[in-house]
Amino acid sequence: MSRDTAPLRVAMIGHGFMGAAHSQGWRTAPRFFDLPLRPEMQVLVGRSAEAVRAAADTWGWAETATDWRSVIERDDIDVVDIVTPGDSHAEIAIAALNAGKHVLCEKPLANSVDEAKAMTDAAARAADSGVMAMVGFTYRRVPAATLARDLVAAGRIGEVRQIRASYRQDWLSDADSPMTWRLDKARAGSGALGDIGAHAIDLAQFISGQRIAAVSGVLQTIVGERPLLAESRGLSGTASTERGTVTVDDLALFSARFESGVLGSFEASRFASGRKNSLRVEISGSTGAVAFDLEDLNSLQFFDATAPIETQGFTRILVTEPEHPYVAAWWPAGHTLGYEHGFSHQAKDFVEAISSKTQPRPSFADGLQVQRVLASVESSAADGSAWTTIDTDQKEVRS
């Protein structure tokens, strides 16, 4: 990419874990991909001037601010990247879109269907003026996951018959792990269901090419109280004898019926001992199957039921060849990629969509559909109903 390429000036609202990941994406993508616009990491925004300055210095942002409202009104900002907790997504995204800024928003899109619908409506209005919005379901852009989608779309496993998806972690298995904002429903919207279950929902729909139409689920909070960090009470240090109430789920299990009638099973858990980051999707078809697991992210398991019976079995595809999605920009064949590369691919795809004025995927409408699935699982779990039908808008863009 030439330095003469027109700049695309980015402001990122929020920092922390996702801030580091998105910063890596913005910084690296233009150095490996020939992009039509040149991303510039212009402003990093956070509530604490000291903390945001330290993050900006570490990650390479040119300047910092503590007032996101003033930043999105600036003429020298083209993109607003939102990595804050879910309770602020709607306000920031709608304001940024109304100000004519392209928006990348972390998943889940919002904390409620109403907020997600308002964001989707704002994105639709902005699109009429060439302003783009995308939700950050980054795992779509792991090359092996994209390859799985491509194989299913090409008919390599035949007619889809069954879908299994799970996202299992164990970072809360210690009952004395402290409270965080992710355990507060007012800030996070939901627990394991929305935080990691949303990824399983999106990836299952993305790979299969089908959308969920109805769900039946149960939720459980396994540890109901956790130690409060002293900082959350305005004190110095980290030790605290006080405990706070967990107001979100730790474990979500649900069945899903897709629009085609195919059945699926889903699990989202933060108590799966020994599972650090196991996002797994397996799709069985009439002539084969694919299986992806994020803990082995450079591989895809592929089964071809049309092969001679004596050689049938799941084959491990090492997804590192230049013919595989995204891989040609990186290293020689056989040299693996990591978690951070998905964020570079996300930045690449978003920049290209902005330049070509085409709707990037997943769209806010895609994010709204996932939000409706999440809400329906919660509704099903609350009233014990066998099946809860997913609301839909006919005008929505389908995944």
pLDDT given at position 3: 63
Residues 6+ apart with CB under 8 A from 391: 113, 372, 376
Q: Do residues 10 and 40 lie in contact, with contact meaning Cβ atoms separated by under 8 Å?
A: yes
Residue 284 to residue 116: CA distance in whole angstroms: 32
CA 177 to chain centre: 24
Q: Do residues 105 and 350 lie in contact, with contact meaning Cβ atoms separated by under 8 Å?
A: no
pLDDT given at position 239: 46
pLDDT given at position 237: 46
Query: Which stretches in the chain have pLDDT values below 70?
Result: 1-3, 230-240, 394-399
pLDDT given at position 133: 98
In a 3-state reduction of DSSP, which class is residue 142?
Answer: coil
What separation, in Å, do the N-terminal and C-terminal C-alpha atoms of the chain show?
A: 31
- What domains, with CATH codes, occur in the chain? 7-139 (3.40.50.720), 143-296+298-337+363-389 (3.30.360.10)
Residues 6+ apart with CB under 8 A from 306: 287, 288
Q: Residues 106-140: pLDDT tens digits? A: 999 999 999 999 999 999 999 999 999 999 999 99
Q: Residues 207-263: pLDDT tens digits? A: 999 999 999 999 999 999 999 986 544 444 454 679 999 999 999 999 999 999 999
pLDDT given at position 241: 74
pLDDT given at position 214: 97
The two tokens of residue 151 are: 């194989």
The two tokens of residue 282 are: 């397996």
- The pLDDT > 90 percentage for the chain reads 91
Residue 149 to residue 138: CA distance in whole angstroms: 14
Number of residues in the chain: 399
Q: Do residues 212 and 256 lie in contact, with contact meaning Cβ atoms separated by under 8 Å?
A: yes
Neighbour tally for 321: CB within 10 Å: 14
